Amino acid sequence: MKLGRLNHIGVATPSIEESISYYRDVMGAGRIRDPFEMEEQGVKVCFVDTPGENGTFGTQIELIEPLGEDSPIHGFLAKNPAGGQHHLCYEVEDIDEARSWFEGLGKRILGPTRIGAHGSPIFFLHPKDMMGQLTEIMETPKDDTHWSN
Amino acid sequence: MKLGRLNHIGVATPSIEESISYYRDVMGAGRIRDPFEMEEQGVKVCFVDTPGENGTFGTQIELIEPLGEDSPIHGFLAKNPAGGQHHLCYEVEDIDEARSWFEGLGKRILGPTRIGAHGSPIFFLHPKDMMGQLTEIMETPKDDTHWSN
């Protein structure tokens, strides 16, 4: 497998509204996308853009707030009430090839390949098999406008 | 303040040697720099490159292993024995301006501005004031070769 772009860093937060103020008013973020709900995943998400080199598109921050009582984010926030870094997401060229690669290495994959927040297929790998990092693998989105919303 | 590039993600590890194998053989990283020691900070570090868009330089992974008995990384690894995400580092144009900005907002700055692993001035901000994220602020390195080693 060939390591692709670090698409985003997932950051859990008790309040996306508060996080938006933080990234805008404290960190000076230039562009923050509209938040949206992903009911099946039990999360509300919001992407903050960071600039890449030479005017390119940099790694995003994905803000994640729990949605509903069964949200997987409640456990994380119970341990980290202020929120914090939750996962890393890397791009790959071909999601099926990447899945076979990690399966062949005996890495635990968390659930089926599904469509993620960027409209592109993704899966997650168990942090205990990934040196302590909850890792998301995403097929590079075909639309290079980066799904504006 | 204007948010700059996400320069790197700091990832604590019990073993840089093991992490290098992981990023090379599992994740398929194309370029991993030579590890080096930062005695004053009590850490050994190693940078893993990730690709940016259109052949640009992406956000790096900074592997951090404790160096010496008083290393600040021991506490993190006691809680997270496998290692994991430790901090986020953003670039700014002017480090003194950024320091004044955060001071003016009442954010706790951890120690003096000092020269970081990239040879550029940096400081750290307390995670409790930064929505749970230990945050490093770095003046954009002047040398655009990204300090090869």
For A19, half-sphere exposure in the C-beta direction (CA atoms, 13 angstrom radius) is 28
Query: Could you say which of A29, A57, A84 has the minimum Cβ distance to residue B3?
Result: A29
Q: Report whether pLDDT(B147) > 70.
A: no
Mean pLDDT of chain B: 94
CA–chain centroid gap for A78, Å, is: 20
Q: Which residues of B touch A11 (CB under 8 A)?
A: 131-133
Please report the pLDDT score of residue B149 as a whole number. Answer: 47
Please report the pLDDT score of residue A148 as a whole number. Answer: 45
Q: Report whether pLDDT(A80) > 90.
A: yes
The per-residue pLDDT for range A87-144, each reduced to its tens digit, is 999 999 999 999 999 999 999 999 999 999 999 999 999 999 999 999 999 999 987 5
The per-residue pLDDT for range A17-70, each reduced to its tens digit, is 999 999 999 999 999 999 999 998 999 999 999 999 999 999 999 999 999 999
Please report the pLDDT score of residue A147 as a whole number. Answer: 53
Q: Which residues of A touch B53 (CB under 8 A)?
A: 5, 52, 56-57
Which are the catalytic amino acids of A?
136
B7 and chain A: CB distance < 8 Å anywhere?
no
For A132, half-sphere exposure in the C-beta direction (CA atoms, 13 angstrom radius) is 21
Is the Cβ pair A13, B133 closer than 8 Å? no
Query: Could you say which of A19, A90, A131 has the minimum Cβ distance to residue B19?
Result: A131
A82 and chain B: CB distance < 8 Å anywhere?
yes
> For residue A86, what is the nearest residue in chain B, using CA coordinates?
B85
Please report the pLDDT score of residue A142 as a whole number. Answer: 84
Q: What is the interface size between A and B, counted as CB pairs within 8 Å?
A: 135
Please report the pLDDT score of residue A104 as a whole number. Answer: 98
Task: Please spell the DSSP secondary structure of chain B, one letter per residue.
Answer: -----EEEEEEE-S-HHHHHHIIIIIS--S-BPPPEEEGGGTEEEEEE--B-GGG-B-PEEEEEEE-STT-THHHHHHH-TT-EEEEEEEEES-HHHHHHHHHHTTPPEEEEEEE-TTSSEEEEE-GGGTTT--EEEEEPPS-TT----
Q: Report whether pLDDT(A73) > 60.
A: yes
A115 and chain B: CB distance < 8 Å anywhere?
no
Q: Report whether pLDDT(B145) > 90.
A: no
The per-residue pLDDT for range B24-77, each reduced to its tens digit, is 999 999 999 999 999 989 999 999 999 999 999 999 999 999 999 999 999 999
For chain A, the structural domain boundaries read: 6-139
| Chain B nearest CA to A47, separation (Å) | 14
Q: Report whether pLDDT(B146) > 70.
A: no
Residue B108 — pLDDT band, cuts 50, 70, 90?
very high
Residue A149 — pLDDT band, cuts 50, 70, 90?
very low
- Fold (CATH) for B6-139: 2,3-Dihydroxybiphenyl 1,2-Dioxygenase; domain 1 (3.10.180)
Determine which helix (DSSP H) or strand (DSSP E) holds A104, and give its type and residue range.
helix A95-104
CA–chain centroid gap for A138, Å, is: 9
